[in-house]
Structure 1
Amino acid sequence: MVDIRIPGSKSITARALFLAAAADGETRLSQPLRSDDTEAFAEGLRRLGYAVDSSRDDEWVIGGRAGGPPSAEAEVFCRDGATTARFLPALAATGRGSYRFDASEQMRRRPMAPLTDALTALGVKIDFLGEPDHHPFALSTTGIDGGALTLDASISSQFLTALLLLAPLTRKGLRIDVSDLVSVPYVGITVAMMRSFGIEVDVDGSTYDVRPQVYRPQAYRIEPDASSASYFFAAAALIGGEVTVPGLGSGALQGDLAFVEVLEEMGAHVRITPEGTTVRGGALRGGTYNMRDISDTMPTLAAIAPFAEAPTRIVDVYNTRLKECDRLEACAGNLRRMGITVDTGRDWIEIHPGTPHTAEIETFRDHRIAMAFSVAALRVEGGLTFDDPGCVKKTFPDFHPVFAGFAAALKS
């Protein structure tokens, strides 16, 4: 059996950075993820005037302020990070000042309308400096009174999270009626973490109600990243052996841990305890899996699907077309390049069993495509090459050497 230490959760680190900045005092975050996305978030906070000490890998210290950003003017470059690009404008909107936000070409292509429309409805002035409802844009604010909103969350749950995080900082509170919410577990992470920082959140079906409150600073430990863990769990399921991820167990906040339930349905053996999660390989059976709520792990399943005994159909994953790349088509194209028969529709992909051959994987600068197909490479004679292996820096900078060492230990 191999124990593998997974870096901290990107989703939890991003939320924790927002919560720490909005809290009234100093917060210490232990085991944060250090990656391109989270470093961009930390740098964005600094640009907004917050004190952020990220000199240590195992603990970051943030000086929070309950009244919005300390700086009245700032220019923030969000790089490729969707959480950075969507959460930081929400934080800035709670202050008083003028702020400009921009992002990489990749992030500029990703939609912002659900958030920018909501902020505009709440009285924030937004001027788009390029394509409407995309980065770059300038934001002017005198704080947010609050009120009631209706939000279409069919593109991403991050827009709801951004609004929930700012809600306690409004003058009158915020009520949000949500329709067509995707990635529901990620909103569960948000609500749980807000409560940990002292905020009451009332949830009644699809309605979220938050009154004005003050976030409480604290020491907060960040659990391992469940999405990153999926590659190690999938490797054990694919080539046999057994892997345990400590610190990611039955009390985990992240819904992506449910990926192991998919592996179990496919034939792997899974054990979840309060201390961690263990997966042991077994013959993969194929089947149909709805991954709407755990769509970040869709590429992981797609990459190992050719090795199953029957076709694997993944459904209700339209939102994966709106990520760093069109992940559904990226997976389909790469699998076809490997000689595998694949069918796709608007929100589904079906992968047929086969014997993949060596090929170069087109990553589209998407970390999840590179990491997912690294798992498939374990069963491809001659292996796979990648046009941009370094794109994993977004969430897991050391992925390739860590995964290579893990795979060698798993096979031994």
Structure 2
Amino acid sequence: MVNQPDLEARSPWSTNNDKQMVKINPPKAVINGKIRVPGSKSLTNRALIIAALAEGRSQINGILKSDDSYWCIDVLRKLGVEVEVEGETAYIQGSAGNWLNPSGELYVGSAGTIARFLPGALAVGKGSWSLTGSKRMSERPIAPLLQSLITLGTDITFNQAEGCLPLTIRADGLRGGEVTLPGSTSSQFISGLLISAPYAKEQVVLHIDGEVVQRDYVQMTLDMMSSFGITAKVSQDGQTIYIPTGRYQAQSVLLEPDVSTCCYFWALAALTAGCVRIEGISADSTSQPDIEMLNTLELMGCTVLRGENFVEVQGVKQLKGGFTISMKKWSDQTLTIAAMAPFADGPITLTDAAHIRHHECDRISAICAELTKLGLHVEEHHDGLTIYPGQPVATLLDSYDDHRMAMALSLIGMKVENIGIMDPGCVSKTCPNYFEQLSQLGVEIKY
């Protein structure tokens, strides 16, 4: 059964929604290209919401123009925030935490970042708002975050399922005090509370219960807060965060390109024994954990050239396998490695990624199903999978309305003729022109 896309969640920045399928064939010539990729989704929505809470006018350079950032900007405008977008730059007149429109219906699409960052941002003001999202977003529980806001004085009513969208927030400011969140479910819950915490009436002390999934994304939030003038104190063990009260101050910031998107193009080079240089990115990036992909590509036999303002990957004729790797810190690339693994010379096991079962789809189950369709031997585990070497057969694959499924599965088409992927428009969540960029590099793309 093919999963039907939720076209309502696609934005005016989306493309290819009229295309039912994309067909991918290997490049006819050796790939040797230079590209730039758009800004980081994770950095973009953090910067937009913090700038909207700040005092003064901010300039955010290098934003990602995708579905997720479109709905973020749309929500901020509905709250009365002035947002101007010129090319890849956004100008935001901050609200200082006082939303001009104290009521309304806010739609977050399928953006997990907005669904997790917005409730706290709303809670610092005064008003009543209803939050809705896509069908899949409404199935993704955010109860731990919402319970922490309730503890801090926010009135939240669930309009359907407990702990999920749609919901109504009635806010009169955050009280402050001590609150506990689980670390194992989603780092975005922690980030959502951190972003709003400076605006509480008293200092917020956040205790984290258990090890944090993707702790680097929590650090990304803390770094962005610091760049806007609020510096939190983290305990030596990393399990308690003390957030001072205060107001963000408007800034001019430049966002890095999206490393998560870069990984698909580096994987393209790896699979085709080609060379892809991505400009405007540094391998020294500390804010985006997916940069770990470069070390794994080297483990698989590729050559990585790390320049001051570029990263270049040179692929090999035969990728190496025969290893197990933890995806805990950079789980967004679990699907990418899984799509490359059949072409390695030994099995590859990916672990510590149980939380990706609750993303746009159950990504572990989905990638196992699609690789099996290709005639490959795959073993599914509760927290990952093992992929064995094999020769995929041409078939039509389901993207599950999930940008990362579509982009990862496209990599099979770098080595196999006539790989079809349903609903190519879903990549607009993070990279609307993904297939066009593949075509520019020499991959054969047909709709």
Q: Same fold (TM over 0.5)?
A: yes
Structure 1 match to 2:335: 299
Q: Which residue of 2 aligns with 1:18?
A: 49
1:408 deviates by: 4.2
Q: Residue 342 of structure 1: which of 378, 401, 406 is its match? A: 378
Supply the AA of the counterpart residue of 2:182.
Answer: D
Amino acid at match of 1:320: I
The aligned amino acid for 1:105 is: K
Report SS of the residue matched to 2:193: helix
Per-residue deviation at 1:388? 1.0
Q: Which aligned pairs between 1:34-73 and structure 2 lie closer than 5 A?
A: 34-54=65-85, 56-73=86-103
Secondary structure, aligned partner of 1:29: strand
Does structure 1 residue 90 correspond to structure 2 residue 90? no
1:214-363 matches, within 5 Å, as 214-252=247-285, 253-282=287-316, 283-286=318-321, 287-363=323-399
Query: Following the alignment from structure 2 to structure 1, what is the Cα–Cα distance between the partners of residues 382 and 89?
Result: 43
Residue 307 (structure 1) shift: 0.2
Q: How many residues align?
A: 407
The letter for the 1-side match of 2:211 is D
SS of alignment partner, residue 136 of structure 2: helix
- Residue 211 of structure 1: aligned partner: 244
Match of 1:192 among 223, 243, 246: 223
Unaligned runs of 5+ in 2: 1-31
Q: CA–CA distance in 2 between the matches of 1:401 and 1:246?
A: 18
Partners in 2 of 1:80 and 1:29 — Cα distance? 23
Partner deviation per Cα, 1:11-53 (whole Å, 9 max, x = no partner): 0000000111011010111120001110000001111111111
In 1, the alpha carbon distance for the partners of 2:333 and 2:375 equals 22
Confirm or deny that 1:149 pairs with 2:184. Answer: no
CA contact (8 A) 1:147 1:175 kept: yes
TM-superposition CA deviations, 1:271-313 (whole Å, max 9, x none): 2233122211123111111011100111111011100000010
The answer to whether 1:383 aligns with 2:414 is no
Q: Offset of 1:167 from its aligned partner? A: 1.1
Q: 168, 178, 181: which one pairs with 1:138?
A: 168
Q: Is the 8 A contact 2:65 2:88 kept in 1?
A: no
| Structure 2 counterpart SS, 1:229 | helix
CA distance in 1: counterparts of 2:281 and 2:91, whole angstroms = 23
| Alignment correspondent of 1:161 | 191
How far is 1:169 from its partner?
1.2
**Aligned 8 A contact 1:8 1:225 in 2:** yes
Q: 2:65 is aligned with what amino acid?
A: R
Aligned mates of 1:340, 1:156 — CA distance in 2: 31
SS in 1 for 2:171: strand
Identity value in percent = 36
* Equivalent position SS for 1:321: helix
SS of 2:329's partner is: helix
Structure 2 distance, partners of 1:313, 1:274, is 33
Which of 146, 149, 154 is residue 116 of structure 1 equivalent to?
A: 146
Structure 2 Cα separation of the partners of residues 171 and 120 of structure 1: 15
Greater helix fraction, Structure 1 or Structure 2 = 1
Aligned-residue offset at 1:402: 0.9
Q: Secondary structure in 2 aligned to 1:80?
A: coil
Indicate whether 1:367 and 2:403 are aligned: yes
Distance 2:83 2:55 in 1: 14
CA distance in 2 between partners of 1:155 and 1:331 (Å): 21
Q: What amino acid is the match of 2:340?
A: I
2:40 counterpart of 1:9: yes
1:68–1:92 CA contact under 8 A, matched in 2: no
Q: Secondary structure at the match of 1:6?
A: coil
CA shift for structure 1 position 70: 2.1
The 8 Å contact of residues 155 and 322 in structure 1, kept in 2 or not, is answered as no
Distance 2:59 2:90 in 1: 6
Q: What is the alpha-carbon distance in structure 2 between the residues aligned to residue 207 and residue 57 of structure 1?
A: 39
- Between the aligned partners of 1:173 and 1:200, the Cα distance in structure 2 is 13
Do the aligned residues in 1 keep the contact of 2:45 with 2:69 (CA within 8 Å)?
Answer: yes
Moved over 6 A (4+): none
RMSD in angstroms over aligned alpha carbons? 1.2
1:171 corresponding residue in structure 2:
201
Report the Cα distance in structure 1 between the residues aligned to 2:258 and 2:83, rounded to whole angstroms: 22
| 1:132 alignment partner, SS class | coil
* Distance in 2 (alpha carbons) for counterparts of 1:68 and 1:271: 47
Work out which of the residue numbers 364, 369, 394 in structure 1 matches 2:429.
394
State whether residues 403 and 427 of structure 2, in contact with CA within 8 Å, keep that contact through their aligned partners in structure 1.
Answer: yes
Task: Give the stretch that moved more between structures: 399-408 or 205-214.
Answer: 399-408
d(CA) in 2 for partners of 1:91 and 1:70? Answer: 13
**SS class of match (1:292):** coil
2:54–2:97 Cα contact (<8 Å) kept: no
Q: Please say if residues 40 and 255 of structure 2, whose CA atoms lie closer than 8 Å, have aligned partners that are also in contact.
A: yes
Letter in 1 for 2:224: M
Q: Distance in 1 between matches of 2:380 and 2:443?
A: 34
**Shift of residue 200, structure 1, vs aligned partner:** 1.1
Aligned partners of 2:362, 2:327: CA distance in 1, in Å?
16
- TM-score normalized with structure 2 length: 0.89
**Residue aligned with 1:293, SS:** coil
How many Å apart are 1:68 and its aligned residue? 3.4
Q: Distance in 2 between matches of 1:206 and 1:266?
A: 35
Using the alignment, how far apart are the partners of 2:201 and 2:313 within structure 1?
48
Following superposition, the deviation at residue 320 of structure 1 comes to: 0.8
